[in-house]
Amino acid sequence: MFQQLRTSLKQSVLGQDHVIDHLLIGMLAEGHVLLEDRPGTGKTTLAKALAQSLDAKFSRVQCTADTLPTDLLGMELFNPLTGSFEQRFGPLFANIVLVDEINRTTPRTQSALLEAMAEAQVTIGDTSYTLPQHFFVIATQNPFDGQGTFPLPQAQLDRFLFKLSFTPLDRTAEKALLRGAHLEAMDLHLPLEQLNAWKQEVAAVTIEDTVEDYLLDVCDALRAHRDIEIGPSPRATLALLKAAKARAWMHERNYVTPEDIKSLATPLLAHRLVLTLEATLKMTNERLVKQTLESLTVPTEV
């Protein structure tokens, strides 16, 4: 059934296999995903296709400069018929939430997502409410249009498991798009409860000491790097382990290999780093992570 889900998504959004696989890893690892790309690449289509394939409740928030925290969380409203206040829940109370152009809303509204993404709950007034099961945020932002935007703070970026960009379509994929190949996606409606079984299997994936030490070596090397002011947090280390287990399970293995860690390190760690001012002038976060990986000794495959 999981392979059917992958196939369905890859038919819905052509030429983005790596993004789809990382999105599914994020879902299995109970993380959240930030999609950074120009408009018109299929980000919204992919989020909707995932929700539809899993029979999940889907909601979409279009962020603007005047979007308020209550537009995400909801609020208490007075009902004159009953003479009491009633809770009206916002769009965060869904399984899959698309937060479109997250960097176009103010830091105050962005911060409303912090508790939701970290603890799967929100606080409205004096009361905390648990969000629906399998709560999964897919946020988007356009990196090429900075006018009227509010860059995400480091604390917000650290809540995202992956930061991903779409691959430009090659001529063959774009021709298939013109001919409507993306309209031939499988009509798949898996029960959302199926995620419970998949996540239990992911959690049972094992990791040997040598591979675990390699994971720690990667994070420690970045923390000690002279060009990095702020390295990966302990949350990032744990996230890398969870994602590596999910990738191993997707490749039909019950154990993590160094390749799982190496392939996920860049999209999972790069956006969490803060480089020195001098370093930002000569390299990107992604390039620095790749250079660090190349400098480390990879343990023998298990």
| CATH number of the CATH domain containing 138 | 3.40.50.300
Say which amino acid occupies 61: V
Q: Is residue 148 in some structural domain?
A: yes
How distant, in Å, are the alpha carbons of 3, 109, 131, 234 from that of 77? 44, 20, 20, 40
149 lies in the same domain as 246: no
165 lies in the same domain as 215: no
pLDDT for residue 43: 84
- 219: closest CA among 228, 209, 210, 232? 232
66 lies in the same domain as 108: yes
* 13's tokens: 């959004």
The residues, any chain, with a CB within 8 Å of residue 199's CB and separated by 6 or more, are 28, 30
Domain count, the chain: 2
Q: Is residue 302 in some structural domain?
A: no
152 lies in the same domain as 210: no
Q: Is residue 180 in some structural domain?
A: no
Count Cβ atoms within 10 A of the Cβ of residue 177 and give its class: 0-12 exposed, 13-18 middle, 19 or more buried. Answer: middle
29 lies in the same domain as 141: yes
106 lies in the same domain as 209: no
Among residues 118, 148, 172, the one where a domain terminates is 172
- 138: closest CA among 8, 20, 40, 266? 20
Tell me the CA end-to-end span of the chain in Å, nearest whole number.
27
162 lies in the same domain as 209: no
168 lies in the same domain as 24: yes
3-state secondary structure of 163: strand
142 lies in the same domain as 27: yes
Q: Are 261 and 244 in contact (CB under 8 A)?
A: yes
* 184's tokens: 């031939």
Q: Is residue 199 in some structural domain?
A: no
- Which CATH number fits the domain that encloses residue 260? 1.10.8.80
pLDDT for residue 186: 58
The set of long-range contacts for 62-66, using a CB threshold of 8 Å and a minimum separation of 24, is 62/100, 62/101, 63/99, 63/100, 63/101, 63/102, 63/103, 63/104, 63/105, 63/109, 64/101, 64/104, 64/105, 65/104, 65/105, 65/106, 65/148
61 lies in the same domain as 132: yes
Q: List the domain range (segments joined by +) for residue 13.
A: 2-172
Task: List the chain pLDDT tens, one digit each, 302 residues.
Answer: 899 898 888 888 888 889 999 999 999 999 999 998 877 777 888 888 898 888 889 999 999 999 999 999 998 787 787 777 788 899 999 999 999 999 999 999 998 899 999 999 998 888 899 999 999 999 999 887 777 789 898 889 999 999 998 887 788 888 887 877 666 555 778 888 999 999 999 999 999 999 999 999 999 999 999 999 999 999 999 999 999 999 999 999 999 999 999 999 999 999 999 999 999 999 999 999 999 999 999 987 54
21 lies in the same domain as 165: yes
Q: What residues are paired with 62 via a beta bridge? A: 100
pLDDT for residue 75: 85
The H or E element containing residue 207 is none
Q: Is residue 181 in some structural domain?
A: no
Q: Is residue 162 in some structural domain?
A: yes
